[in-house]
Amino acid sequence: MKLTIVYDNEKIVDDLETGWGFSCCVDGRERILFDTGWDGNVLLRNLERLRIPPTSIDKVVISHNHWDHIGGLSNLLNVNDSLKVYVLPSLSQNLKREIERRAELIEVSRGMEISKNCLTTGELGKSIKEQSLLLETKNGIVILTGCSHPGVERIIEEGEKYGSVYGIVGGFHGFSNLKVIEELNLILPCHCTQKKKEIERLASSMNCGVGLELNFEI
């Protein structure tokens, strides 16, 4: 299984573009795009430069109803008309109608399998609803988050229902309790992480940016 950061505030490959938002491509049995960043043009250019043809994406999972995670979806739908798009019931009704006109819309309330070795937590949180992905690897569960509005602790708790949590990748909005993650084997703080510098001091933390690739045995 391979993860590629395709949209983020920072980059680690010079000829890629940054932007406000987040998107990560998961390559396993199928190709899944988790979130779509803010600017669809930047998203599509980065995908092409990373040799990920937009038409090769099978499924899209939208973490939550904030534009920096859904903004690129319309552009992607323009070039790929065979997508399955997994969203929460709380997603904008207008956007859900647009998706239904141009792709297969799947509403997610409870945890479910998205693809082989890839599950969604289902809807978590109270004021801001959000879903995260749980990736089953040989080393344990790798969690992929959007902004972690429900709380990193709550998301990890959900991940632990499926096995030992190996690592977490994505945005950690409003997160400050480093003890919750300090024993994980992989910590990758991305877009929307306020305590990023403190988190990056942890031994298992890596610098996130567009172009970063991670490979896991499954």
- In this structure, are residues 83 and 103 in contact, taking their beta carbons and an 8 Å threshold? yes
- What tokens were used for 25? 């491509």
Segment 54-113, tens digit of pLDDT? 999 999 999 998 888 999 999 999 999 999 999 999 999 999 999 999 999 999 999 999
Domains identified in the chain and CATH numbers: 2-215 (3.60.15.10)
Instruction: State CA 45 to chain mean position distance.
Output: 18
* pLDDT band at residue 178 under the 50/70/90 scheme: confident
In the β-sheet with 213-215, what is the strand arrangement from edge to edge?
A: 104-107, 84-87, 59-61, 31-34, 23-27, 2-7, 213-215
How much is the pLDDT for 191? 86
Report the alpha-carbon distance of residue 156 to residue 143 in Å, rounded: 8
